[in-house]
Chain A
Amino acid sequence: MTGEAPAAPPPGEPPATPPTADAGSPTERATIVVTDDLERSRLTTFFRLILVIPHLIVLALFSILALVLAIINWFWALFTRNTVAHDMQARYLRYATHVFGYLNLIANPFPGFEGAPGSYPLDPQVPEPEPQNRWKTGFRLVLVVPALMLATTLGVAGSSSYSGNYSVGLITTVAFLAWFAILAIGRMPRGLRDLGVYCLNYGIQYWAYVLIVTDRYPDSDPLTKDYGPDPAPDQPIRISEDAELRRSRLTVFFRFLLFLPHLIWLLLWGIVVQFTVIANWFVTLFAGRPADPLHRFNGAYLRYVTHVYAYVSLVANEFPGFVGAPGTYPVDLHIAPRERQNRWKTGFRLILAFPAMILASAVGGLLFFVALFGWFVGLFLGRMPLGLRNLGVFALRYSAQASGYLWVLTDRYPFSGPSLEQLPLEQPPTESAPLPEPA
Chain B
Amino acid sequence: MPKITYIEHNGAAHAIEVPAGRTVMQGAVDNNVPGIDADCGGECACATCHVYIDSAWLDRIGLPPAGSQEASMLSFAAVTQPDSRLSCQITVTEALDGLTVRMPEGQH
Q: Are both chains from one complex?
A: no
Measuring CB to CB, which residues of chain A are less than 8 angstroms from any residue of chain B?
none
